[in-house]
Amino acid sequence: MTRHGAGGGVRRPGARAAIVCALAAALLTGCAQSVDPIERMGRKAAQKVRRPDPPPAAGAPAPDVHRRWGLAAPLAPAPRPHRVLAARAPGTVPPVIDHVPTRDKVVFLTFDDGAERDPRFVDMVRELRLPISMFLADSAAATGYDHFGQLRRLGAQVENHSLTHPFLPGRGYVDQHAEICGQQTRLKSRFGAAPRLFRPPYGDYDADTLRAAGDCGIDAIVLWRASMQINDLRYADGDRLRPGDIILAHFRGPAELKGTTLTEMTSRMLRRVQEQGFTVARLEDYV
Ligand SMILES: [Zn+2]
């Protein structure tokens, strides 16, 4: 179907809003080799892991903990963030971003959908103090909100990825408003705060998406400029990361990653980031 699905990204350029920012990244296939988690949801039982949440530890990670997660060196602390998103003027739609304008050698990790709930990933986020943003679709993540709540208590941010993960362009304002606002309501009632960011399924949107997102209280539409495959990053253009890149990854497990676990995939992603002299920062600290 489209980007998050099993095939390449067939796009409908006519559905695009004219106000798109430069979005070569939207041409990336974030998930070309995998089964769409949405499709397998019916098969996958909720893997609820009920353990007490340890409090987020303060300060730097324990020495050598990076080795446990396959990293040669600790993740460098992110530089002091600077806000880049201006307040939206009344009557305007949210901006579409695929990167953050910054000279800092930082990139931002985003994980989509929510079908895979690997308890080891909670350990990884806690031990590495990993800042991540989670774009949750209710149809994929709903049975795992306890799991994502654990991650949220470790500092992971919960963001909106629609109720049912449809291809939005052409569906009209009312439908899109229901998809976006519906998930705002679900996430707010579950986690106590409504998301500020929205990622349209497959990275596809039209003018109604932007208008509906704005009316639902969304501050920015978040796409990506690099995407993590099973082993390597794929870039929107060029062959390496650039400062401020937003990286797309998915909550996926061995069934979709040819035997690779979510933590192994994340470890590879972090190595690619470190090899290029970057570290990871929290997207919400900048936008
Ligand atoms: Zn998705």
Residue 255 has pLDDT above 70, yes or no: yes
Residue 41 Cα to ligand 1 midpoint, Å, equals 13
Closest among 166, 209, 156, 211 to 187, alpha carbons compared: 156
Give the tens place of pLDDT for each residue, 146-203: 999 999 999 999 999 999 999 999 999 999 999 999 999 999 999 999 999 999 999 9
pLDDT value for 86:
81
Residues in the chain: 287
- How many angstroms separate the CA atoms of 104 and 165, rounded? 33
Closest among 193, 200, 132 to 164, alpha carbons compared: 200
In 93-240, alpha helices (H): 119-128, 138-141, 145-153, 173-191, 207-215
Of residues 88 and 161, which shows the higher confidence score? 161
Question: Is 70 part of any domain?
Answer: no
Give the tens place of pLDDT for each residue, 220-252: 999 999 999 999 999 998 999 999 999 999 999
Share of residues in the chain with pLDDT > 90 (%): 72
Residue 80 Cα to ligand 1 midpoint, Å, equals 30
Residue 30 has pLDDT above 70, yes or no: no
Give the tens place of pLDDT for each residue, 53-65: 444 455 677 888 9
Question: Is 73 part of any domain?
Answer: no
Question: Is 15 part of any domain?
Answer: no
Question: Is 196 part of any domain?
Answer: yes
Q: How confident is the model at residue 27 (pLDDT cuts 50, 70, 90)?
A: very low
Closest among 116, 88, 131, 155 to 255, alpha carbons compared: 116
pLDDT value for 58:
56
Residue 253 Cα to ligand 1 midpoint, Å, equals 15
Cα first-last separation, the chain: 31
Residue 167 Cα to ligand 1 midpoint, Å, equals 10
Residue 7 Cα to ligand 1 midpoint, Å, equals 14
Amino acid letter at 142? A
Structurally, the chain folds into a number of domains equal to 1
Residue 8 Cα to ligand 1 midpoint, Å, equals 14
For 50, phi then psi, to 5°, come to -105, 100
Spatial CB neighbours of 189, under 8 Å, sequence gap ≥ 6: none
Provide the residue range defining the domain that includes 181.
21-38+95-285
Residue 107 Cα to ligand 1 midpoint, Å, equals 20
The CB density around residue 257, as the number of other CB atoms within 10 Å, is 19
Residue 146 Cα to ligand 1 midpoint, Å, equals 19
Give the tens place of pLDDT for each residue, 74-84: 999 999 888 88
Which of 39-48, 85-94, 230-239 holds the top average pLDDT? 230-239
Residue 45 has pLDDT above 70, yes or no: no
pLDDT value for 125:
97
CATH number for 270: 3.20.20.370
Residue 100 has pLDDT above 60, yes or no: yes
Question: Is 16 part of any domain?
Answer: no
- How many angstroms separate the CA atoms of 163 and 198, rounded? 11
pLDDT value for 240:
97
What b/e readout covers 266-275, taking b as 16+ CB neighbours within 10 angstroms? bbbbbebbbe
Question: Is 57 part of any domain?
Answer: no
pLDDT value for 14:
37
Residue 221 Cα to ligand 1 midpoint, Å, equals 14
Question: Is 53 part of any domain?
Answer: no
